[in-house]
Amino acid sequence: MNKTKTIILALAILTSLTTGCQKQESTKQHTDRVIANVTESKTAFPYWLVFFAGHDGSKCNGCTMIGGKLIHKDCQGYGRQCSKASRVIFDQNGSQITATTVDTFDLTSEDFFAMPDRSLYFEDDNKDPFYLNIPEQLVYRDSTTLQFTFTGLYITSSPAYSND
């Protein structure tokens, strides 16, 4: 596939997945992915995390503990109701991998995000598949940078989570 077709394909995928909180069918055809940012220049944030999150609020009295109270926030937590995408910078310190968002409000305008456990598919430069696994976590927006940082990420050859 030539570079122009790759760019068009990447833009089409990102456009379709960043349309906010739209209901999606919960099937395995929706693959949660890490997508390399296709660009001519070398940027500090070359990757997108693309995944589905959230569940029906009418059936949830609260699933996230904030300030000692259980609350429900649409498009957060377990489930696959909403599409999400955010550019990230990866950092690795020994075996510790983190991902910090660079787009302030792509995931949410809230000061927190309930990240469900997800295994995001990716291919390396040799087209070898692997999975970036993100454990379930409640992350808070950094008060200075306004970004979220996901911790405890790890890579495996098969998915660690079912992504349901």
pLDDT in tens, 138-153: 999 999 999 999 999 9
Among 2-11, 58-67, 75-84, 91-100, which stretch is predicted with the lowest mean pLDDT? 2-11
- Residue owning tokens 């940082």: 149
Q: Are 57 and 23 in contact (CB under 8 A)?
A: no
| Between 53 and 4, the higher pLDDT residue | 53
- The pair of structure tokens assigned to 72 is 């429900």
| 74-86 tens-digit pLDDT | 999 999 999 999 9
Q: Are 150 and 137 in contact (CB under 8 A)?
A: yes
- Indicate if the pLDDT at residue 22 is higher than 70: no
Mean pLDDT score, 152-158:
95
Please state, as a whole number, how many other Cβ atoms lie within 10 Å of the Cβ of residue 93: 7
CA distance 129 to 115: 23
pTM for this predicted structure: 0.76
Mean pLDDT score, 55-61:
87
Query: What confidence score (pLDDT) does residue 54 get?
Result: 94
Query: What confidence score (pLDDT) does residue 57 get?
Result: 87
